[in-house]
Amino acid sequence: MNYTIFSPADFKKHISTVETTTSFFHTPAGILRTESTSVGMYRATFIDEKIHETQLSQLDDLTALSFILVGTPFQIKVWQELTTMNVKTMHYQALAEKIGHSHSYRAVAQALARNKIAYFIPCHRIVQKNGALGGYRWGINRKKMLLESMI
């Protein structure tokens, strides 16, 4: 996967000068709506609405996708670490320790909440220290589906 990194201010300038594309993909966890520019995908959200079957595409080769990461240096560090996890799940504090900020597990949680391409940067793989699933933007049931399908 290729990543282009923007600060929030630089991305605001970028997005105001380019054409965007919206696509819909069928995934094991439901319909995913993505938004992209010629540089890469910058948003992926699950939707619960019905869409016409002809609007759906296939996500075949994830390694060929390009992404735009928009965030602070700390957020970028958290998101990049998620893409290199070699375990199925990890708790917030362990992730904070891996990025060298052992006491910043709440900031890690906030970075996860701001992840705009969460399907591809797998914040659903972060759980509570006791093993409970914790929260997820699109609900616990979807988080369970994602973990079961190991996306």
Same domain, 13 and 43: yes
Q: How many domains does the chain have?
A: 2
48 shares its domain with 92: no
Q: Tell me: pLDDT of 3 over 80.
A: yes
What the block records as the tokens of 123 is 């914040």
Q: Which of 68, 123, 146, 147 is catalytic?
A: 123
Which two three-digit tokens encode residue 69? Answer: 């990461």
- End-of-domain residue from the set 68, 89, 109: 68
> Do residues 29 and 122 make contact, with C-beta atoms less than 8 angstroms apart?
no
Do 56 and 76 fall into the same domain? no
Of the three residues 43, 68, 93, the one that is the final residue of a domain is 68
Clarify whether residues 78 and 117 are in a common domain.
yes
Task: State whether 47 and 77 are in the same domain.
Answer: no
pLDDT level of residue 78 (50, 70, 90 thresholds)? very high
Residue that finishes a domain, picked among 11, 42, 68: 68
Q: For residue 151, is pLDDT > 60?
A: no
| 133-to-93, 123, 127 alpha-carbon distances in Å | 14, 11, 5
pLDDT of 1:
74
**DSSP states along 76-121:** HHHHHHHTT--SS-EEHHHHHHHTT-TT-HHHHHHHHHT-TTTTTT
- Strand-pair category, 56-57 with 66-70: unpaired
- Residue 117, judged by CB atoms within 10 A of its CB (0-12, 13-18, 19+), counts as buried
Same domain for 83 and 45, yes or no, is: no
63 is known as an active-site residue: no
How far is 126 from 132, CA to CA, in rounded Å? Answer: 10
Confidence of residue 59 (pLDDT cuts 50, 70, 90): low
The CATH number assigned to the domain holding 116 equals 1.10.10.10
- The per-residue pLDDT for range 103-145, each reduced to its tens digit, is 999 999 999 999 999 888 999 999 999 989 988 888 899 999 9
Question: Which residues form the domain of 90?
Answer: 72-149
Between 105-113 and 73-82, two packed helices, what is the crossing angle to 10 degrees? 80
Mean pLDDT of 43-63: 74
Q: Are residues 76 and 145 in the same domain?
A: yes
The answer on 77 and 57 residing in a single domain is no
Query: Are 125 and 103 in the same domain?
Result: yes
Q: Are 6 and 40 in contact (CB under 8 A)?
A: no
pLDDT of residue 61: 62
